[in-house]
Structure 1
Amino acid sequence: MAGLLPCATVAVLLLAILPSPSTAGDPDLLQDICVADLTSAVKVNGFSCKAAVTEDDFYFKGLAAAGNTSNTYGSVVTGANVEKVPGLNTLGVSMSRIDYAPGGLNPPHTHPRATEMVFVLQGTLDVGFITTGNKLYTKTISAGDVFVFPRGLVHFQRNSGESPAAVISAFNSQLPGTQSLATTLFAASPEVPNAVLTKALQVGTKEVEKIKSRLAPKKS
């Protein structure tokens, strides 16, 4: 019939207007600013906007000083996301500072909503990520270097030097989310059943219970 486009042409046009998975991220903003109202009970994909806005909603000085790395892993993450900087709401970006004691580890984890780029402030780190095909990409990076962890892929950083290390991380999400593999599996609430973990990890119940006891939240 005259005037109809060939199927192949229609398919190409559809692909052209669909959003590309490679550019997926936080939704585009629809106004200049939408400072997060962190006290609101309204649940949206992000945060509702508050009416009274000040310069301090766009300000945060928490990344200036090193964090306390006196913990099990010897590392600490200080986030500068929408929960700390309400002005980031709808802007699709955030940052973090990560500090590492000598030998400190930021254990294997994922960011389901963002790609991460780290810039090394000081020290030397062994970093890496694992693809869904179980291919490990790893590199040793030092002060001034940059490394990228693709969105959603398991990754880690370890201080391989004898002095403290630190990085600044940038994300293409106002709240990238962090899912640590060990904590997710062994410290979930309610608990992941032992039968699931023993079969998945090919270990015994005693080993599972031992790990759970170490990762369980501390009772106050």
Structure 2
Amino acid sequence: MVNMACKLELLFTLALVLGTLCISHAGDADILSDFIVPMNTTIDGNFFTFTGMRVLLGGDFPTTFKVLKASMAEFPALNGQSVSYAVLQYPAGSVNPPHTHPRASELLFLLNGNLQVGFVDTTNKLFTQTLQAGDIFVFPKGLIHYQYNYDEKNSAIAVSAFGSASAGTASIPSSVFNTSIDSGILAKSFKTDVETIQKIKSGFVA
């Protein structure tokens, strides 16, 4: 009887551990319906259509790096669908600064121009590549990465797909220098002085 109780306790413990592991590795939750409808929303073809990218057609190219997103925030029909898009526009010489997407990997398809791209893994190894139009590059989930249009004369444009309706973006420079982290702490962390940190912070003031 005692032996059976021990076995049941062991099985219950294993089930808890496995359940915790599954939760910790989950992406978007699976849904139990075809799609999720927000309250007070009319469902027809319009609900499943996103027109926010129309501004790209015939519009002026931006003078600084710009991202147009089609994520759950902009396109509610994506809720529960585990997918989202972004169109990235890189003027000549511009950069998409180091950042992460905590909830999704990113698959970038370069439509036009050239880009230098890279990401850093958890052992601090840097993986880089120079992309030409037609190339695809994957940025693994949660890892710090960047894109740089090194061409000083020509722009570039890319489309990124994400394995989440809400991939999230954490900009490393902005998260570090455009928040209320104490300048003294940052100075010690970056092995520099407070004056240097404050100069960097001033560059983020609108």
- Aligned position for 1:114: 104
- Aligned position for 1:19: 22
Q: Counterparts in 2 of 1:137-156, with a 5 A limit?
A: 137-156=127-146
Note if 1:207 corresponds to 2:200: no
- Aligned position for 1:99: 89
Q: Counterparts in 2 of 1:28-177, with a 5 A limit?
A: 28-35=30-37, 37=38, 49-64=39-54, 65=56, 68-70=61-63, 74-161=64-151, 162-177=153-168
Instruction: Give me the CA root mean square deviation.
Output: 2.7
Shift in Å at residue 160 of structure 1?
2.0
CA contact (8 A) 1:116 1:149 kept: yes
Q: Tell me the TM-score normalized by structure 2.
A: 0.84
Q: Tell me the TM-score normalized by structure 1.
A: 0.79
Q: How far apart, CA to CA, are the structure 1 residues paired with 2:170 and 2:60?
A: 20
Q: How far apart, CA to CA, are the structure 2 residues paired with 1:57 and 1:101?
A: 33
Q: How far apart, CA to CA, are the structure 1 residues paired with 2:69 and 2:60?
A: 11
- Aligned position for 1:196: 185
- Detail structure 1 runs of 4+ shifted over 4 Å in the superposition: 14-18
Q: Which letter maps to 2:22?
A: P
Q: Which runs of 5+ in 2 are unaligned?
A: none
> Taking every aligned residue pair, what percent have the same amino acid on both sides?
37
Q: Which runs of 5+ in 1 are unaligned?
A: 38-48
Shift in Å at residue 78 of structure 1?
0.5
Q: Which has the higher contact order (CA 8 A, sep 6+)?
A: 2
- Aligned position for 1:182: 173
Shift in Å at residue 16 of structure 1?
10
Shift in Å at residue 90 of structure 1?
1.3
Instruction: Mark the CA change 1:17 to 1:208 in structure 2 (over 3 Å): closer, same or farther.
Output: closer
Q: How far apart, CA to CA, are the structure 2 residues paired with 1:119 and 1:91?
A: 21
Higher helix share: 2
- Secondary structure of the 2:203 match is helix
